[in-house]
Every structure is written in structure tokens, then in C-alpha cells.
Amino acid sequence: MLDILRLMRYVNPYKRYIAIALLSMSVQVFVSFFIPYLMIDIIDVALPARDFDVIVNLSIVMLVLALLGIISGVINAYTSQYIAQYASAELRLDVFRRIQDLSFSNIDTFKQSRLITNATNDVLRVQMFFTMMLRILVRAPLMIVMGFALALGTSLRLSQVFYITVPMLIITVALIMYYAYPRFKKVQHALDDLNNVTLENANAPQVVKSFVSQPYEHERFETTNEQYRQANTGAETVMAFAEPTINFIFNLGVAMILFFGAFFMTRGEFIGDTGVPQVGVLMAFNTYSQQILVGLMMFAMTMVFLSRANVSAARVNEVFNAEVDLVNPKDPVKREISGRIDFDSVSFGYGHGDAIRDIDLSVESGEKLGIIGSTGSGKSTLVQLIPRLYDAREGTLQIDGVPVEHYDLTTLRDQIGFVTQHATIFSGSVATNIRQGLEDADYETLESVSEKALLDEFVKADDEHFNKLVHSKGSNLSGGQKQRLSIARALIKQPSILILDDATSAVDAKSERRLLSHIDDLEYDPTVLLISQKVSTVRRMDRIAVLDDEGRIDGVGTHGTLLGQSPVYREIARTQGVGGDDDA
């Protein structure tokens, strides 16, 4: 249970509330035991003697104690929930921050569905444990200890019942925990798979509908859902045996107490130490024994739930303990960059093979470089190394003569504008999406970059202008609008290096020419790396780098030069019907 203990640090800041919760819980337990103690005097002493003053006085005391128990119970419930809610909120926030710190390699290892489960379901189970800890985990041992002390003090003879019920309960709890823990672990993994299928379908509804693959996706979800059901049923089956078994032991204890109490009393033997009529003693002892068994039952259920929460805690700790392969150096370089980029024998791959191999390429500051190659040639991989989304496996990548690994990550990425191959749009407004590049950008700046990204006509056509609401993933925007919005978000940073990864694929040719012309006419002179599948697009650049199918450089030069020197480029140009003239 070390994993759940490691997360206890999140409740440490609430020590005052913990003290209040424990104190109110102790008062509630004390009241629950003291009321039966008073009943002995009412039933065995006051009633036989017809001493109604004692009965009234003790009844008033019992009523006050009952009210005190209610108040202390409410306080305990409130403080427990307060601590659990705030502690879990901090935990959830830290999990989210940690996910943001993870590198692409870490995310590829964990998978998105797993991380979603970590931040939601796993944290929820830990939260429920925090609540249970302050309401039950401490209460149960206290009830057991006080119950045993009072029961033994009330009747040693009847206490022999515990020789049977307590071992039975302990064995039951041990067996339940033994069988439940691996099943709960399997449930969480099955939930990851279920989230993964759901996430994939939610991310690509157009593809599913366009290819009429709903039956296949339905079958895939049904299979995954059935696996989750089986895993959950296996775990809940163990839990299903827990409650009736514990209730059986509980009722067995009550029956044995009443049986032995009646047995001794019919024989005229005292079951208590007072030497007075024994009905009150029998009732009090039965209440104490019930409190003991309730405490044991609470403890048993808490242990079972603890095993479940510990599975989630272990999964959360795995995220916290993950070794991030992209971290800031000890003495990071923090300076403005001009934009010179040098690849020196750079190789990188996502698995065992290499996506790019032995890349030797230099890009001057302010130069505009087109990058072209067939699908899977490593174009996107190449530019992802520049902002350190990944680190090169071999070779050195330098920016302004400094290895990219030496830069402060925030400083480096703040000076790079990256428009990804698939436009990523967040729910909010047009303005909030653009301002991700510059948080405090004013209205005039928004207008300026919108014009450069050809977004201005779309913005002005809507009554809300920049306040137009955008749905998650830009589902209410066209492909071209999403790409232009992404370009505006990059341009507003005024980056020293601007990376356009097939960022104009959804824009018509005329708009693409206008957009690239606006980038040429920027008031500053960034280094531009433009990836495209179209020769007509990259030929506008100062130079073009061509990648072959194995991720190697096949040639670097102008359009005319490459037609004569690069077989790969020549074949691409031929298939697109592009001739050897140099006109853009």
C-alpha cells in the first residue's frame, strides 16, 4: 500500500481540518458507546426500582448525547469531504501539469487514453479513499478497541463469542483482498482500452461516417466494452461475496450472544459482574458486539477499497515517476535566436528503425527552405526536432551554433512558430485561439495577423468577429479556416523560426500564393521551413530540401538545380506535371 501512502502528502496541508475531523469522529464513537452503557442502569436498576427520576435524568442525558453525536457526525462528514475535495483537486492539477511536462515519447508510451483515465477515474478513486480514511479508516479501529474494552468489562462469559466471529471476519477480509487486488488492476487497464476506442471515434467522426464504418466501430467498441464488463464483473463478484459473508458473520454473532445470554440466564447464572438482573447487561453487550462487528466490517470494506484505490495510486505514481527524456539542462541558454539551423549527421526513429538518417543540412538565418518528399519520408519528423519535441538519436542539431539540447525549453519554443500538419483548434473563441501565441495581444494585432493569414474575411463575415465561438477541434470550421487560424496563431508570436508543416494543404492555390506572399512581406525576417507535397508550393522558397523514401537527403538546391540533380525531386515534379521553368 506504499503507492497510496505516497499520495498522502496531498492531505498534509489540511492538518487543522484533519484534527477537527478526528476529534468529531471520536466524539461520535464515544457517544455511540456511552448511550448503551447508560441503558444498563435504566433497565437493570431504575426500572426494577421504579425510580422514574433516574429514568428521566438518564433519558435527557441520552438525548443530549444523541444530539451531540449528530452534530459531531455532520462536522466529521463536512471536514472529510472538504479535505478530500481540495486534496484531490491539487492531485488532479499536478497530474495534469505532469502530463504537460511529458515528452512525446512518454505520451507515446503511456497512450492518451491511459493519461485521461489517470486524470479522471484514478484520481476519483484516490479522492474517495481520502474521504473514507477520515470517516471510516480511523473510526473502525477506535470502535473495535472501545467495543472490546467495554464488552469484556460487561461480560467475560459472552465475550467468548468473539473467538469465533473475529477470526472468521479476518479470514474473510484477507481472502477478499487477495482475490480483489489483481482484478481491480485489470479493470483499470480495461477502462484504458475503452477510453481509447471512445477517444478515437470522437476524434474522427467524419472518417467513420464517410467510410460507413459504423458497424465495424460498433463491433470494436462492443468487444472492448465486453472485455471491460468481464473484468469489472470479475472484480465485483469478489465484492458481491464480501457483503453477504460479512453480514452473515455479523448476524451469527448477534444470534450467538442472544443464545448464550438466554442459556446462562435460564440457568440462573450471571452473565455480568453486577449481580443484578441481566437484561440490560445482555442488551448493552449485544450493542457493544454489534459495534465491534460494525467496526470490523467497516475496516474490512475499507481494506478492500484501499486495495482498489492503491491500484489507481500506483498508476498515478507511474506518471509522476516517468523519466522525461526532454528536460532543461542545468545551465540552460536563454537568449534570442536569429534562426540559423544546422543538422550534422542527425538520425532519429520512433521505434527500432530510423525515420530520418544521416541528415546534413544547414539553413541560414532568414532563409526560406522548402522541404518535399514522398509520404513517410520523414519530413515532419525532421522539423519536430527543432523545437525539441523529440531529441535526435544520433548526430547534432544546432541553432545559432548552440546544440538545441542546451537551450531553455521555454525560451527556445517561444521563438519558434509551429503550424502542425493537422490543425489543432481548441474550444473557445477565434481570439483565444490566436492569443495562444501572444496572450496579451491587442485588437489591432489580432486584425494584423488575421489579414496576413487570410483569416480576416472569415472573421469580418461573422457578427461576433474575434469573439466567434469555436467548437473543440474546430468542428464548426472548414479545413482551410482551421489552417489559417493556426497560421495566425503562429505569426502573432513573430517567431525567429517559422515552421509550416503542410499547413496550406486545405487552402486553394490562389489563397496559398497570397498567404505565402504575405509571409515573404513580413516586417521581420524569420527563417521559414515549409513542408509541402506540392512542387508548385516549395519552388517559391530560396532552396528546397528533398528527402527520399529512407529518410535521407536526396538533394538540396533550387527548383532548376534539383530537376537535374535529384531523381526523387524529378519524379515528383514529373508526376505533378511541373516543368523546368523557375517562375513561381
User: 582 burial class (0-12, 13-18, 19+ CB within 10 angstroms)?
Assistant: exposed
Is the pLDDT reported for residue 276 higher than 50?
no
* pLDDT score for 583: 44
Domain boundary among 494, 514, 539: 494
Helix axes 15-40, 52-101, angle to 10 degrees: 150
CB atoms within 10 A of CB 356: 25
- Indicate the pTM of the whole model: 0.70
- 129 and 250 assigned to the same domain: yes
* pLDDT score for 280: 67
| Residue 46 DSSP symbol | I
CA pair distance 407, 386, nearest whole angstrom: 11
Is the pLDDT reported for residue 545 higher than 90?
yes
- 209 and 71 assigned to the same domain: yes
CA pair distance 269, 262, nearest whole angstrom: 10
Does the residue 134 lie in any domain? yes
Higher local confidence (pLDDT), 520 or 308: 520
- 315 and 433 assigned to the same domain: no
Does the residue 412 lie in any domain? no
Is the pLDDT reported for residue 357 higher than 90?
yes
- Where residue 398 falls (left for φ over 0; alpha for ψ -120 to 50; beta otherwise) is beta
Q: Give the pLDDT band of residue 108 (cuts 50, 70, 90).
A: confident
CA pair distance 260, 280, nearest whole angstrom: 15
Is the pLDDT reported for residue 167 higher than 90?
no
- 310 and 437 assigned to the same domain: no
Does the residue 371 lie in any domain? no
Q: What average pLDDT does range 87-109 have in this prediction? A: 88
Per the CB < 8 A criterion, the answer to whether 28 and 76 are in contact is yes
Is the pLDDT reported for residue 270 higher than 60?
no
Per the CB < 8 A criterion, the answer to whether 528 and 541 are in contact is yes
What residues pair up with 497 in beta bridges, in sequence order? 416, 527
Q: Give the pLDDT band of residue 500 (cuts 50, 70, 90).
A: very high
Does the residue 314 lie in any domain? yes
Distances (CA, A) of 265 to 45, 150, 161, 252, 282: 17, 20, 16, 20, 10
CA pair distance 445, 438, nearest whole angstrom: 10
Per the CB < 8 A criterion, the answer to whether 531 and 371 are in contact is yes
* pLDDT score for 528: 94
CATH at 62: 1.20.1560.10
Number of domains in the chain: 2
Q: What average pLDDT does range 183-193 have in this prediction? A: 81
CATH at 484: 3.40.50.300
* pLDDT score for 277: 46
Domain boundary among 445, 467, 494: 494
Compute the mean pLDDT over every residue in the chain, rounded to the nearest whole number.
84
- 293 and 437 assigned to the same domain: no
Higher local confidence (pLDDT), 411 or 104: 411
Does the residue 187 lie in any domain? yes
- 190 and 84 assigned to the same domain: yes
Q: What average pLDDT does range 223-233 have in this prediction? A: 86
Does the residue 392 lie in any domain? no
Q: Give the pLDDT band of residue 260 (cuts 50, 70, 90).
A: confident
Does the residue 350 lie in any domain? no
Lowest mean pLDDT among 179-188, 398-407, 488-497: 179-188
Does the residue 502 lie in any domain? no
DSSP result, 123-159: HHHHHHHHHHIIIIITHHHHHHHHHHHHHHHH-TTGG
User: Which phi and psi angles does 553 have, rounded to 5°?
Assistant: -70, 120
User: 501 burial class (0-12, 13-18, 19+ CB within 10 angstroms)?
Assistant: buried
Lowest mean pLDDT among 4-13, 151-160, 416-425, 551-560: 151-160
* pLDDT score for 499: 93
Q: What average pLDDT does range 421-450 have in this prediction? A: 87
* pLDDT score for 205: 65
Q: Give me the count of residues in the chain.
A: 584
* pLDDT score for 366: 93
Q: Considering only CA atoms, which of 580, 171, 163, 103 is closest in space to residue 319?
A: 103
Lowest mean pLDDT among 58-67, 103-112, 326-335, 530-539: 103-112
Is the pLDDT reported for residue 185 higher than 50?
yes
Q: What average pLDDT does range 214-221 have in this prediction? A: 80
* pLDDT score for 584: 41
Q: What average pLDDT does range 458-462 have in this prediction? A: 84
* pLDDT score for 211: 61
Q: Give the pLDDT band of residue 471 (cuts 50, 70, 90).
A: confident
* Domain housing 192: 2-321
* pLDDT score for 212: 67
Is the pLDDT reported for residue 465 higher than 60?
yes
- 272 and 151 assigned to the same domain: yes
Domain boundary among 300, 321, 342: 321
